[in-house]
């Protein structure tokens, strides 16, 4: 497959407005993880302040945002392995999210299973993990839609499960063209929902999450089951849900 080449000028011509809501998931303990280390809420606040002081500074253009939004943009140390729209090394941050919470759950399910595929001696969790899905309002006058023509002609490159190089080159050119959001098809969602890659903090139109939902996720020998408390919803991802990714091919399901 030939590698697509899109110049900043060509991408600039394809930039269009976008506005909507996008979802991410984090472990629910993100709010209480330090509470177990202290004896009071005052001590927790002090500990959180001390931890915060050791982290890299938040970029000025992101400082008005909730930490759930600015975290992907703050870390200066080399990005270890790269991701779909971000190269490894000292590269600019990317906020990954999904247009639907179901797609965000599918993304999380894949990466949780990948952890167990890479550590075959690790037993399955004995209980469900609790996660918070949170929504961000985003908008930009300059976004690219990789699911629409003419960019969709390179669909195979944008949706390769392992080779992120074409998407990373596209992101480099998109930044030069002042693009703030890239919309693309999720490789992990069996229903092929859409994801967003936010390249700039300016794309957030509200400084904090506008909605939160609680999900309980169980991993085991049959795959992944996920249940949302409200609105009530359930999802299941069987052993073959992510079979297109060779990194799960050698999964040891019985453990």
What the block records as the tokens of 220 is 């085991």
Q: So what's the pLDDT on residue 28?
A: 81
What is the helix (H) or strand (E) element at residue 174, kind and residue range?
A: helix 165-176
pLDDT of residue 174 exceeding 70: yes
pLDDT digits 0-9 by tens, 85-131: 999 998 999 999 999 999 999 999 999 999 999 999 999 999 999 99
Integer-rounded Cα Rg, in Å, for the chain is 19
**Average pLDDT value for residue range 124-143:** 96
Task: Please give the share of the chain, as a percent, with pLDDT higher than 70.
Answer: 87
More confident residue, 2 or 131: 131
pLDDT tens for each residue of 143-159 = 999 999 999 999 999 99
How many residues appear in the chain?
A: 255
**Can you tell me the distance from the alpha carbon of 54 to that of 49, in angstroms, rounded to the nearest whole number?**
9
- Which pair of structure tokens corresponds to residue 236? 């299941």
Termini Cα distance of the chain = 38
Q: d(Cα 232, Cα 151) in Å, to the nearest integer?
A: 36
Domain ranges of the chain: 8-248
| pLDDT tier at 162, thresholds 50, 70, 90 | very high
> In 105-203, at which residue ranges do the beta strands (DSSP E only) sit?
129-145, 181-185, 194-198
Check: CB of residue 105 under 8 Å from CB of residue 235: yes
Contact 22, 138 (CB under 8 A): yes
Q: What span, in angstroms and rounded, lies between the C-alpha atoms of 204 and 195?
A: 15
Identify the residue whose tokens are 């247009």: 99
- Give the pLDDT band of residue 4 (cuts 50, 70, 90): confident
Q: Which pLDDT band holds residue 55 (cuts at 50, 70, 90)?
A: low
């Amino acid at each position: 497959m030939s590698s697509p080449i899109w110049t900043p000028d060509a991408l600039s011509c394809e930039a269009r407005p976008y506005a909507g809501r996008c979802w991410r998931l984090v472990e629910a303990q993100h709010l209480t993880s330090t509470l177990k280390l202290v004896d009071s809420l005052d001590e927790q606040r002090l500990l959180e302040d001390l931890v915060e002081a050791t982290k890299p500074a938040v970029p000025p253009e992101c400082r008005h945002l909730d930490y759930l939004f600015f975290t992907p943009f703050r870390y200066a140390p080399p990005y270890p392995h790269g991701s779909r729209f971000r190269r490894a090394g000292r590269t600019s941050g990317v906020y990954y999210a999904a247009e639907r919470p179901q797609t965000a759950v599918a993304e999380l399910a894949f990466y949780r299973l990948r952890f167990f595929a890479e550590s075959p001696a690790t037993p399955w969790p004995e209980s469900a993990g609790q996660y918070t899905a949170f929504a961000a309002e985003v908008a930009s006058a300059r976004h690219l839609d990789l699911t629409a023509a003419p960019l969709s002609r390179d669909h195979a490159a944008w949706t390769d499960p392992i080779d992120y190089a074409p998407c990373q080159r596209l992101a480099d050119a998109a930044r030069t063209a002042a693009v703030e959001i890239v919309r693309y098809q999720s490789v992990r969602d069996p229903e092929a929902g859409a994801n967003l890659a936010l390249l700039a903090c300016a794309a957030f139109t509200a400084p904090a999450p506008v909605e939160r939902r609680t999900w309980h996720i169980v991993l085991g020998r049959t795959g992944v089951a996920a249940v949302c408390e409200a609105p009530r919803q359930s999802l299941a991802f069987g052993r073959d849900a992510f079979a297109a990714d060779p990194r799960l091919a050698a999964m040891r399901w019985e453990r």
